[in-house]
Structure formats: structure tokens, C-alpha cells
Amino acid sequence: MPREPTFQAVSLICLIIFNYKTMKSIKNRLEYLRKQIQAENISYGEIAELQELREYIDPSDTLLLQWANVEEEGETIECGNCGREFSENEEGAIVSETINRCSRCANL
């Protein structure tokens, strides 16, 4: 007598179908983004989307990877001492509500 499919087996099959559909829609989305790049029509939102999908980009796909690696512009802060603009996560810098010092001026 054939066994009833177990709950685990059914969930596993659903998961595989779900992943397959997800992967397919991600691939379609990456192809869409590639067309946008080639048409020089890609928006910042789409670049951000590309960055989120970075792990799904084929390692040999240099065009998409190049765009996925475009640095997001971080917050810049002006140093209260020398006026130099530095990034929020610059090592050694002091940033508080009243003191903004770049790493070079932090110890002054």
C-alpha cells in the first residue's frame, strides 16, 4: 500500500517550488536591471535593489557586479576644528551632538 505523503515531505516540496520560483523571479529581475544599465536608465532605487541581490549575481557577470559594488554615499560630517569633511564611520573620529572632530583632530 503506498504511503501517504508525510507533512515534512509536502513542506519540503513546497519549499523547493517556492525557492525555484523565487530564484526565477530574481533572475528575471537581474535581467531587467541589466537592461536598465545597458540603456543607461538605471535609478538609485534600482542600484540599491541590485546591491540587495548581489549574492545571486553570477561571479563572472562583471557588468552587474560592477554596478552592485557602487559605494553607497555615507553621511559626511564637517570637522569642527579643520573643516574637513569626513565619513560618519571614520576610525578615530569623535562625533557627538556638540563635538565633531575628524580623526586627525580627535586628539587635539
**For residue 31, which of 58, 71, 69 has the smallest C-alpha distance?**
58
Which positions from 4 to 33 touch Zn ion by CB under 5 A, shown as an x/- string? ------------------------------
**Which residues 83-102 are close enough to bind Zn ion by CB under 5 A?**
84, 102
| 81 near Zn ion, rule: CB under 5 A | yes
| 79 near Zn ion, rule: CB under 5 A | yes
Q: What share of the chain is helix, strand, coil (3-state, %, to 5)?
A: 45, 10, 45
Query: Using CA atoms, how far apart are residues 89 and 30, in angstroms rounded to an integer?
Result: 31
| 82 near Zn ion, rule: CB under 5 A | yes
| 42 near Zn ion, rule: CB under 5 A | no
**Interface residues toward Zn ion, by CB under 5 A:** 79, 81-82, 84, 102, 105
